[in-house]
Structure 1
């Protein structure tokens, strides 16, 4: 069942990446860029049990990491007792990008990470995760600090959502 949920999270995030309108919002001091998909911003039907009157939105976020060198490690393997040691090269793949789905509360600039998929430079999935929480409370959300990348992402998503909402009225 857990494998199925990971597959669903991966496919949902990959599907969202096809019809996208990525807008770069911020860059971190480490060189990572953060973008949001304006086409993915929508009202969420997920209720927070201790704050029912607050409208939350969902958004797809993309974090692109700076190019990194391939790391090679040598590992010594011993096949049998007393046998010669054999050196094996192991390549560690580093994350090139991370697609994430966030549930955002514009009221207090907080977010809850619903799912993510990490990719290497060859678009190979390194790790994926999807929340299995059936019920959320405000304690599940992380409040962002002012003048941070997280706050800028949330403010941009909330502003875009409000503009779209006003244009459709």
Structure 2
């Protein structure tokens, strides 16, 4: 059952990503670029058990990681008659595996409360550069409370993402 939930989360985020209208919102100090899918912003019908009459919205967020530079270590060992040089194909194969397991971007679905600038991450899918799914997760909580939400701190990327999403939602109303 849990596997089915992960598959559904992956397919939902993947379908949403193809018909997306990504708007770059912020860049981190490490070079990650954060974007909001403007087409995904909509009122949510998910109820928060201890909160009455508050509109929450759902939104897709993308974090694109900076390209990682390949680091090659110089060999300090001299090649002798008894030792063999490594096969270049083997080296390329290892580099290919390393590149395929690096996160290129991550798509997330957030449930946002514009009232207090908080969010709850409902699902995410991490992708390699070739759009291969590396990891995915979907919340299995059937009932949410305000304690499940993370209140954002002013002047942080998460606050900027929440504020931009809420602003876009209000403008589209």
Measure how far apart 1:69 and its partner are.
3.4
C-alpha distance after superposition, 1:135-161 (max 9, x if no partner):
000000000000000000000000000
Q: Are 2:61 and 1:61 aligned? A: yes
For the residues of structure 1 that align with 2:164 and 2:70, how far apart are their CA atoms? 34
C-alpha distance after superposition, 1:113-140 (max 9, x if no partner):
0000000111111100000000000000
Task: Assess if the C-alpha contact under 8 Å between 1:101 and 1:116 holds in 2.
Answer: yes
Report what 1:103 is aligned to. 111
Measure how far apart 1:19 and its partner are.
1.3
Report what 1:30 is aligned to. 30
CA RMSD between the two structures: 1.5
For the residues of structure 1 that align with 2:130 and 2:60, how far apart are their CA atoms? 21
TM-score where L is the length of structure 2: 0.83
TM-score where L is the length of structure 1: 0.85
Is 92-101 or 133-142 further displaced after alignment? 92-101
Is 61-70 or 27-36 further displaced after alignment? 61-70
Measure how far apart 1:94 and its partner are.
1.1
C-alpha distance after superposition, 1:63-93 (max 9, x if no partner):
0000013579xxxxxxxxxxxxxxx875432
Corresponding residue SS for 2:18: coil
Task: Assess if the C-alpha contact under 8 Å between 1:62 and 1:97 holds in 2.
Answer: yes
Report what 1:148 is aligned to. 156
Higher strand share: 1
Task: Assess if the C-alpha contact under 8 Å between 1:70 and 1:94 holds in 2.
Answer: no
Counterpart pick for 1:119 among 117, 123, 127: 127
Report what 2:52 is aligned to. 52
For the residues of structure 2 that align with 1:162 and 1:64, how far apart are their CA atoms? 26
Of structures 1 and 2, the larger Rg is shown by: 2
Q: Are 2:146 and 1:138 aligned? A: yes
Q: Which runs of 5+ in 2 are unaligned?
A: 73-89
